[in-house]
Every structure is written in C-alpha cells, then in structure tokens.
Amino acid sequence: MTGDPFGDWYDAAGVRGGTRRLLRDETEQGLAYFPEKLVPYLDHELVKALGPEARRDLTVRHLYQFLLATTHLETRIVNRGAERIANNRVGLHLPARTRMNAFKVYCDEGYHALYSLDLAEQVEAATGVTIPGWDFGGFTRRLDDTAARLLPDAPVLAQLLQVVVFETLITAVLNELPNDPGVVTTVRELTRDHARDEGRHHRFFAAFFHELWTGLDANRRAQAALALPAFIEDCLRFDTLPAERSLTLAGLAPGDTVTVLADTFDRPQRLRENAAATVRMCRSAGVFDVPGAVEAFAGKGLIDG
Ligand SMILES: [Fe+2]
Ligand SMILES: [Fe+2]
C-alpha cells in the first residue's frame, strides 16, 4: 500500500484499536495538566502574583480550552470538508480511494472529538475545576468570516482550503506535549494517540491540496493564494476570549487582564514554525507563482518578503 497514508488504517487508527484513556491523577507528584510553557500568559508577573492554586486552575482551564476547541474544530471544520470529499461534492473527479480515505478522516475526527470531551470531563471530576460553559469554538467563526471576505463566491473551495490548512499545520501542542515529562501521563498518552492519527491526515491533505490546486483556474488560484495565509493566521492565532474569562475567574482585576492579554497575545505564537509544513506544501504546489502570493504570505509573517 505504498503511497496510501491510510494503507494501515484498519489496524493502526486510534478509533479502530485504541484504548480509552482513563485519567490517573498525578498532581501530587507535581505533574501539570498542560505544559506550563505552552500557556502563554502563565509567566506574566501579574499572573504569577495570583499564587500557585490560581495558576493550577488556569492550567487546567487551558487544557479544557485545548480539548474543547479540538472537539469543535474536528467536527465543525475538518469533518465539514472531509464530508464533501467523501461524498464527492467538491466538483472534482475524485477516485474512490480518496473518498474512502476522507471517510477514514471523518471517523478519526469524530473519535478525537469524543475522547477530548471525555478527558475534559474526567479532569473536571478529578480536580474540581469546573468546565466553563463557554463557546470554545471561536476559531470557527473567525475562519468563516475570513472565507466570506476573501472567497465570497466560492464557499466550498473555502471549506476545503480551511481543512487543508488546519490539517497540515504542525502545532507545538501535538508535537511537544506527548514528550513532556512534567505533564500528567494520561494527557500525554491521549495527545500522542491524536498526533499519530494526525500524521496520516497530514499526508492525505497535502496530497489532496496538490490535486485541488491543479484543478483550479487562474481566477480561483488568485483568490485562494490570498485566502491561504489568512486561514493559516486564523488557525494559529489564539482564541483570547476563553483566556480572558479564565484570568477573570482566577481573580485578576479587569484592567490587569487586559494588560496580560495585550502583553502575551500581541502576535500569533510561533507562527512561522507551526506553519512551515503548510507553507512548504503551498510552495511545492505552485501557490507562490500567483502574482501577489509572496506578498500576502510575507504580510502575515509566514515567509520573508
Ligand atoms: Fe484530529
Ligand atoms: Fe485530522
């Protein structure tokens, strides 16, 4: 099955053979629920002053934000696009294998959403830190707004580009969290399970993007080349509303919360590093041959101008 990212899916996918991860509470061993260095506001002077208990609760709520944003993105953004490919509703001629692979993505993402929610519920039961009843899907609105602005007459293409971008970014969380010895084992195991499946998705969507790009006419390519860097930024820019509310819950005064957010979220974290694989994929497909594309990517800080 060389060349097929899903050649071993029936045996290797988490949803096929994985085990349900049950939380072991290891806070007494000094392990954190999320890598503290990946909670951007945790080391701010004003946050440090809140004391260790508040910082622990902030870390737990940051894990909730990661897990629940995952559930929203997987089911509302990734599976929206995967369904289009799977049911051959993209306006391209798609081979049956591509369609079935898109259904494999669909199954994987449904399962990732399920176990992310499952873990959040287990952490709530173990820690007593309530999962706030907020909308953790702020990303999805931002992506849809960008689509309406930059691809107003091509909603399906926008959905496909959003999926391709989201699935080819390599974020620090999936990459680094599984190997962080300072983090609770169950959180690391679940993230490792997830990262394994995402490796297959990455290969699938990078190949799909080349096919998609080849089928676009010059006008659509011009629109897509401008939309891609905006989607990349949308996916990597932190959703600050849950962070703002979490800081308020931790007891930070409103004015201080504004200061902390301004100091830590003035630009997307590690944008270029996390987007490197996506930018490489765009380059190899020929996106930078489109006039204005280099400037658009450079304008978002993704490449040098
Ligand atoms: Fe996933
Ligand atoms: Fe995925």
Q: Where are the domains of the chain?
A: 32-299
| Enclosing H/E stretch for 289 | none
Cα 197 to middle of ligand 1, angstroms = 7
Cβ neighbours for 223, distance < 8 A, ≥ 6 positions apart: 150, 151, 154, 157
Closest ligand (CA of 81): 2
Q: Which residues surround ligand 2, an ion (CB under 5 A)?
A: 167, 198, 201
**Spatial distance between the Cα atoms of 224 and 227, rounded to a whole number of angstroms:** 5
pTM over 0.75? The answer is yes
Domain 32-299 sits in CATH at: 1.10.620.20
User: Which ligand is closest in space to the CA of residue 115?
Assistant: 1
**Ligand number with the minimum distance to the CA of 104:** 2
Q: Give the pLDDT of the chain (305 residues) as one tens digit per residue.
A: 358 999 999 999 999 999 999 999 888 899 999 999 889 899 999 999 999 999 999 999 999 999 999 999 999 999 999 999 999 999 888 999 999 999 999 999 999 999 999 999 999 999 999 999 988 888 889 999 999 999 999 999 999 999 999 999 988 788 899 999 999 999 999 999 999 999 999 999 999 999 999 999 999 999 999 999 999 999 988 888 999 999 999 999 999 999 999 998 766 568 899 999 999 999 999 999 999 999 999 999 999 97
Of the candidates 66, 46, 58, 65, the residue with the CA atom closest to the CA atom of residue 250: 58
Strand partners, 183: 32
Structure token digits, residue 89 = 């509703």
Cα–Cα distance for residue pair 138/54, rounded to 1 Å:
24
Q: If you measure from the C-alpha of residue 192 to the centroid of ligand 1, how many angstroms do you get, rounded to a whole number?
A: 11
Two tokens, residue 283: 């380059």
Q: How many whole angstroms from 240 Cα to the centroid of ligand 1?
A: 22
For residue 249, report the distance from its CA to the centre of ligand 2, in Å.
32
Let me know: does 206 contact 281? Beta carbons within 8 Å: yes
- The CA 75 to ligand 1 mean position distance, Å, reads 9
Place of tokens 């993105």: 73
> Of 76, 37, 68, which is closest to residue 55 (Cα–Cα)?
37
**Closest-lying ligand to the alpha carbon of 198?**
2
Q: Which of 188, 9, 253, 234 is nearest to 107 (CA)?
A: 9
Q: Which candidate, 62, 43, 54, 56, places its Cα nearest to that of 253?
A: 54
Residue 200: nearest ligand to its CA?
A: 2
